[in-house]
Amino acid sequence: MEDLIKKYEKKLSGKIISDIKLNVPKNIDKKKLEEIFKRAVTVFENAQIDTSEACGLIASSSFGEQSTQMTLNEKHGGGTSTIQLSSGLPRIIEIFDGRKELSTPMMEIFFKKKKLSENEVKNYAMHIKETKLIEFIEEFQLDFINQVVKCYLNKDKLKKEKYSQEAIAKALQKNMKGIIVEEEEEYISVKKKIKDEKIMDLYKLKDKLKNVFVSGIKNISQVVIVQEDDGSYKILTRGSSLKHVLELDFIDPYKTTTNDIWQICNHLGIEAARAAIIKETDKVLEVQGLNINIRHSMLIADTMSLSGIIKGITRFGILLDKDSVISKASFETPMKHIFNAAISGQKDKLKSVMENVMVNQPIPIGTGMGRLLAKEDS
Amino acid sequence: MNEPTNYTFKKIASIEFGFFSPKLIQEVSVAKVVTPELYDKESYPVDGGLMDVRLGVIDPGLTCRTCGNKFKECPGHFGHIELARPVLHIEGIALIFSLLKTTCHNCGRVLVSDEKLNLIKDKLKEVESLRGYENKLKEIRKLLIKLKTIIKCPHCSAKQKPLKLEKPYTFYEDEQKLSPIQIRARLERIPDKDIELYGINPEATRPEWLVLTRMLIPPVTMRTSLTLESGERAEDDLTHKLADIVKINQRLFENINAGAPEIIIDEFWELLQYHVTTFFKNSVTQIPPARHRTGQPLRTIYERINSKEGRIRNNLAGKRTNFCARSVISPDPMIEIDEVGIPELVAKKLTIPEKVTKYNEKFLKSLVEKGKKSYPGANFVIRPDGLKKTITDETKEQILEEIQPGYVVQRHLQNGDVCIFNRQPSLHKMSILCHKIKVIPGKTFRINPAVCFPYNADFDGDEMNLHIPQTEESRAEAELLMSVKNVLVSPCNGLTIVGCVQDAISGNYLLTKKENFTKKEAIELLYSVDHKDFTKLPKGDEVDGKDIISALLPKGFTFYGKSRSGDVIIENGYLKEGVLDSSSLGNGAGLLLRSMLQKYGEDLVSDFIGKMFKLGLKMLLQSGLTTSVSDIDTDSKFQNKIAKYFIDADSEILKISDKLYKKDFHPTKDQMIEAETEIMKILGNAQNEAMKCVSDYFNEETGTTIMINSGARGSKTNLTALAGFVGQQNSRGGRIKVGYRKRTLSCFKKYDIGSEQGGFIKSTYKKGLKPHEFFFRAITSRDAYMDIALRTPKSGYLYRRLANALQDVRVEADSTVRDIDSKIIQFKYGEDGIDVSKSEKGSIDIKKIIREVAGN
């Protein structure tokens, strides 16, 4: 078996070889095994893609055709009903645009320890969730004479979440600029560094204080604990902050993931981002019940991540990176491209499909690639 | 044969872009335009006017004075105008602004010291070579923002004055207006080595050329005039605009020569600037667009090029063609799947050029003799020297005598000719396929219903286009690459896209199930689908449906698959077990068809599909299939059973409701959401169980259930909606939202959260809906329609972007995937080079191979 594998290793793909290893009956004789390999090679070679096939256009038309069947339904529950994920066509557009701001950022957090009690998980969840001051506040009192806002904290809540008044005061000072925080026995007093005379300003300060970030991880506005079939727990979050979550020591960094491709690109690198694009696209397709082969999303993901960072398929992304002036001009904002080409004296070498269509010449794709090797003027 | 041997083949190798300098304008110009008049009294173009015959001719009968050619032969020639005062080019305003702002007004140098300048230049060069021109522009933009804050010139230490651009084209420095003359003088001073910093190539463009002193006049041939019925001439928008420019320019000259006051000159100058600006671009935001007398804005150069209706996207990237036809399509299951039926009317109009050789001389002569009017005939004859002759009754005899090898006869379409058939929107490559022509009576195009799916066509009035390829190469390519047989499997997901539909599926389903045929009947059935090989039928007189289908299957074909209701076993070319339904024969599935395709090739499979299709129809013709209202009749016991599920669900919901609206208890938002999900769960369960109950109830074989079970048409959900209940109406990911105060419709009580008010429809379509149920159904229906209307343009734009981004990506000979700049995108297509349409959904079925070899 081993030497047969060695013999056919270069002719077959890794998946086929492992498939053969998995499925072949153990007591098979060598002749039959070789026959299997031989047949696999023929089938594999027959299935190879043709040279100069316009695989890019096939990928795009696969998506283009199928995307007319996607729903526009913005949201869909991702495992739980409380966290809604955008799905369908808007999500596909979001992925291919390479947007930095997602409409529904989401994280899936796993834990290192396999066996956790529910309480522990709740504790962790609390640790992750972004908490704002308003959640600890019993009441605000406005002292107009001294221009001070007095924050009375909810003692029960503090105890429950294991926070001290001191810690919150420190967090306040750290996370909001231009204020002086003083800790009193019963309350925390906050005043502005620059004193204002207006009464309205104190109200404004109060409103601002409500939303000051106190603990947890920024941008993660909601956490949901999900128990999986095997009894282990995971946390789904609304909002995403891969960097800060990965810094936590109790999470499993290998399984924890986000749906924000840019965060993956920035913290895990471009290859991870490429994989994320494929995964996210496939997720949408699965929910929509569509069937597009993974090769097509792979090709699109590869094109998007070609330059080392994620580039969206927009007129500011990969479409801008083309060398050909006319090809760019035929997409959007033609005048801009033509003017820029004129002032910099660019040359369009008519390599691309679009220009050759324009000047009625064979396109460099498919049968248009065929050339005759012949001597020029004899 | 005496072919002309002096062909010259020209290929455009590259297109260069640049700016016309005043000097270059002088060189290319054939005429200086001095007068706004167009024609004299005899309506002959005026010399030195905008329609000057030196600029090209658009009237039949005139000759161009530059090239001596006549109308339609003369390509047109450029002229020019000398502007009395220079004006700014509207597209260059942004560049002029940054040039002025970041260069010294005193010495003309860029506000960067020499050493730094070299460093920046090196960096830009590196960026351009590594990351392309557009990234260089980005770098430049970043750089210029920095430069704008520099106050002191590092070269001559002059203090920089604040510069302001009042849009669209007026510059102020220190509150003083800068005239285009001053601007031009400044731009002239900037040395070549400095302008490279702005991404300008000094060999292509000098910045002062952005201030026009001389203007190029486009040739007459690109602004042709129309002659109206009244004999009046309607000039092109560009001519109107040019006339305005020449007029104002003339008056400005006169005023300057007459020594008019500065204010008047400035006014005319401003007007000239306006006209020149709108000549280039008539949609500048800050200035009113120039209009016709009727009030509609002029279409000038920018508008001509830009947008979907502009030159680039409308005329250059998309083209019109001859030799095409368009008509309504209608179905004809009796023609082959790779055929298209066309009316005689079309066949007589469209032609195929066929070269006369000694082998086909007789045949073509007979066509020529038939002439234009009777079918099959021919329309034209082309002599070897290129002269085209129409075949009429008068010329016929002379042509017949004349014809000899080397001539080309444009003959009518005949059966078996190749054509290309297309339905818009052409979303994938299967939207344009090659068919063989079959001329049949009628006035519509006829296609086999089996090929509806790739075109996404139906017969409710759809129209389709037909093209006739005119050269041998194109015909060969069409036949070999884009014939229906070649696209039986979709490259998108590896599923079959041509297969039986509707009646053909239910027919075959019935056939596989029916047992008692006599041999005579079986032979009749097979013969009616054009199958003449009866050797595979069993010897006795008793034949069952499976035997009939086995007769069509290729010998030695083995297949193990699944149908909708069980296994399908085909061994050695005989259908042993199971029924053939939509999961074997239909489109969007078809493992059966695919494994047949792999083993026996596309000819056999397309033949098989065609025969199976007809067989299904013939079977239905014999057995009959009716769907009637009595199919969905239900008894009261069943109705009560269904109702009980919902009553149970309602009582559960009531419990939740009671909990929620206890005395002195105010539910929070979270609790409301929780209750809502709970209710949805309860209703969903009830719905599922009731649905099971419905499908259990309809276990008899009626026309309706046959259609559903075979997958021909309709689904269990449809049946449930007709006979059981319509079910929950969902809008925006939940039940119907509250629209009145605390209730969804005014006929309900406040605080009701029960199933009825949430949009659960308990009635059936057969019985009819209650008024409120009808409202709820209307809500979701409208939502669905809105969804489609909004989705189509969105997905269309996504497709356009994807196609534009990936159109140049191709598989190279070394099996890498690259784009035009030879950047490698993938080392092997899809990591193993497997084509989706040539494999089992993009992978290779090893198990099957092992089974074949090892035999189990």
Q: Which residue of A has its CA nearest to B817?
A: A55
In a domain? residue A124: no
Q: A1 at the B interface (CB within 8 A)?
A: no
A residues 6-25 lying closer than 8 A (beta carbon) to B = 13-16, 19-20, 23-25
Q: A368: Cβ–Cβ under 8 A, 6 or more apart, which residues? A: A356, A362
Q: Is the pLDDT of residue A183 over 50?
A: yes
Q: What are the φ/ψ torsions at residue B562 (nearest 5 degrees)?
A: -125, 140
Per-residue pLDDT, B6: 58
Contact A73 B854 (CB under 8 A): no
Does an H or E element contain B165, and which?
Answer: strand B163-166
Average pLDDT over residues B498-504: 87
B687-706: per-residue pLDDT in tens? 999 999 988 898 888 889 89
Average pLDDT over residues B622-641: 89
Identity of the residue in A16, A49, A353 whose CB atom sits nearest the CB atom of B808: A353
The CB-side HSE value for B717 (13 A sphere, CA atoms) comes to 2
**Averaged pLDDT score across all residues of chain B:** 87
Q: A321 at the B interface (CB within 8 A)?
A: yes
Q: Are residues A306 and A332 in the same domain?
A: no
Does an H or E element contain A179, and which?
Answer: strand A179-183
pLDDT band at A378 (very low <50, low <70, confident <90, very high): low
DSSP B446-496: EE-GGGHHHHT--SSS-EEEEE---SHHHHHHHHHHSBGGGGSB-TTTS-B
Contact A306 B825 (CB under 8 A): yes
Q: Is A367 helix (H, G, I), strand (E, B) or coil?
A: helix
**Range of A209's domain?**
131-215
To the nearest whole angstrom, how far is the Cα of B176 from the nearest Cα of chain A? 29
Q: Are A233 and A225 spatial neighbours (Cβ–Cβ below 8 Å)?
A: yes
In a domain? residue A183: yes
A207-229: per-residue pLDDT in tens? 777 777 777 788 888 888 888 77
What does the DSSP 8-state code read for residue B25?
Answer: H
Average pLDDT over residues A292-297: 91
Contact B302 A335 (CB under 8 A): yes
Percent of chain B with pLDDT over 70: 98
Average pLDDT over residues B661-678: 79
Q: A349 at the B interface (CB within 8 A)?
A: yes
A195-209: per-residue pLDDT in tens? 666 777 777 777 777
Biggest CA–CA distance in chain B, Å, is: 116
Q: Is the pLDDT of residue B589 over 70?
A: no
In a domain? residue A113: no
Counting every residue written for chain B, the total comes to 856
Identity of the residue in A64, A323, A365 whose CB atom sits nearest the CB atom of B802: A64
Number of A–B residue contacts, CB under 8 Å = 340
The total number of structural domains in chain A stands at 4
Q: Which residue of B has its CA nearest to A13?
A: B832
How deeply is B27 buried, as exposed, middle or buried, from its count of CB atoms within 10 A (0-12, 13-18, 19+)? exposed
Q: Is the pLDDT of residue B96 over 70?
A: yes
Q: What are the tokens at B635?
A: 């008894």
Buried b (16+ CB within 10 A) or exposed e, B85-118: bbbbbbbbbebbbbbbbbbbbbebbbbbeeeebe
Q: Are B423 and B462 spatial neighbours (Cβ–Cβ below 8 Å)?
A: yes
In a mutational test of the A interface, the residue from B732, B849, B856 whose CB has the highest number of chain A CBs within 10 Å is: B849
Contact A64 B799 (CB under 8 A): yes
The CB-side HSE value for A339 (13 A sphere, CA atoms) comes to 19
Contact B317 A357 (CB under 8 A): yes
Q: Is A188 helix (H, G, I), strand (E, B) or coil?
A: strand
To the nearest whole angstrom, how far is the Cα of B407 from the nearest Cα of chain A? 26
Q: Are residues A146 and A198 in the same domain?
A: yes
Residues from chain A contacting residue B791 (CB–CB below 8 Å):
68, 70-72, 89
Biggest CA–CA distance in chain A, Å, is: 103
Q: Are B55 and B74 spatial neighbours (Cβ–Cβ below 8 Å)?
A: no
For β-strands A213-215 and A222-227, DSSP reports them as unpaired
Does the N-terminal peptide bond of residue B191 adopt cis geometry, omega within 30 degrees of 0?
A: no
Residues from chain A contacting residue B319 (CB–CB below 8 Å):
357
Per-residue pLDDT, A76: 59
Identity of the residue in A46, A296, A321 whose CB atom sits nearest the CB atom of B134: A321
Residues from chain B contacting residue A320 (CB–CB below 8 Å):
134
Q: A270 at the B interface (CB within 8 A)?
A: no
Q: Are residues A67 and A32 in the same domain?
A: no
To the nearest whole angstrom, how far is the Cα of B24 from the nearest Cα of chain A? 15
A237-289: per-residue pLDDT in tens? 888 888 888 888 888 889 888 989 999 999 999 999 999 999 999 988 888 88
Q: Are residues A35 and A59 in the same domain?
A: no
In a domain? residue A108: no
Contact A359 B12 (CB under 8 A): yes
Residues from chain A contacting residue B806 (CB–CB below 8 Å):
56-57, 59-60, 299-300, 303
Q: Is A63 helix (H, G, I), strand (E, B) or coil?
A: helix
Contact B428 A62 (CB under 8 A): yes
Task: List the CATH number of the domain containing A199.
Answer: 3.30.1360.140
Query: 3-state SS of B656-694?
Result: HHHHHCCCCCCCCHHHHHHHHHHHHHHHHHHHHHHHHHH
Q: Is the pLDDT of residue A177 over 80?
A: no
To the nearest whole angstrom, how far is the Cα of B764 from the nearest Cα of chain A? 26
Q: What are the tokens at A261?
A: 């491709």
Q: Are residues A338 and A316 in the same domain?
A: no
Residues from chain B contacting residue A349 (CB–CB below 8 Å):
13-14
Task: List the CATH number of the domain containing A277.
Answer: 1.10.1790
Comparing CA positions, the residue from B382, B326, B396, B312 lying closest to residue B353 is B382
Q: What is the distance between the alpha carbons of residues B474 and B706, in angstroms, rounded to a whole number?
A: 45
pLDDT band at B1 (very low <50, low <70, confident <90, very high): very low
Contact B802 A341 (CB under 8 A): no
Q: A367 at the B interface (CB within 8 A)?
A: yes
Kindly report the pTM of this predicted structure: 0.89
Other C-beta atoms within 10 Å of B166: how many? 10
In a mutational test of the B interface, the residue from A343, A352, A376 whose CB has the highest number of chain B CBs within 10 Å is: A343
Average pLDDT over residues B232-245: 88
Q: What is the distance between the alpha carbons of residues A304 and A96, in angstroms, rounded to a whole number?
A: 8
Out of B108-122, B258-272, B594-608, pick the least confident: B108-122
Residues from chain B contacting residue A293 (CB–CB below 8 Å):
492-494, 836, 841-842
Comparing CA positions, the residue from B88, B289, B251 lying closest to residue B182 is B88
Average pLDDT over residues A41-57: 89
Percent of chain B with pLDDT over 90: 27
In a mutational test of the B interface, the residue from A13, A61, A86, A349 whose CB has the highest number of chain B CBs within 10 Å is: A61
In a domain? residue A372: no
Task: List the CATH number of the domain containing A348.
Answer: 1.10.150.390
Structural domains in chain B?
A: 25-78+218-227 (4.10.860.120), 89-208 (no CATH), 236-320 (no CATH), 324-487 (2.40.40.20), 503-623 (1.10.274.100), 629-775 (1.10.132.30), 810-854 (no CATH)
Q: Is the pLDDT of residue B418 over 90?
A: yes
Q: A99 at the B interface (CB within 8 A)?
A: no
B120-155: per-residue pLDDT in tens? 888 888 888 777 777 778 888 888 887 777 788 888
A residues 68-97 lying closer than 8 A (beta carbon) to B = 68, 70-77, 81-82, 84, 89, 92-93, 96
Q: What is the distance between the alpha carbons of residues A134 and A151, in angstroms, rounded to a whole number?
A: 10
Average pLDDT over residues B465-470: 94
In a domain? residue A297: yes
Identity of the residue in B17, B831, B839 whose CB atom sits nearest the CB atom of A47: B839
A residues 209-248 lying closer than 8 A (beta carbon) to B = none
To the nearest whole angstrom, how far is the Cα of A60 from the nearest Cα of chain B? 5
Q: Are residues A28 and A69 in the same domain?
A: no
In a domain? residue A29: yes
Place of tokens 């679009």: A354
To the nearest whole angstrom, how far is the Cα of A183 from the nearest Cα of chain B? 33
Identity of the residue in A55, A67, A343 whose CB atom sits nearest the CB atom of B95: A343
In a domain? residue A358: yes
Place of tokens 């960097």: A243
Q: Are residues A334 and A270 in the same domain?
A: no
Domain boundary among A199, A215, A231: A215
pLDDT band at B561 (very low <50, low <70, confident <90, very high): confident
What does the DSSP 8-state code read for residue B313?
Answer: I
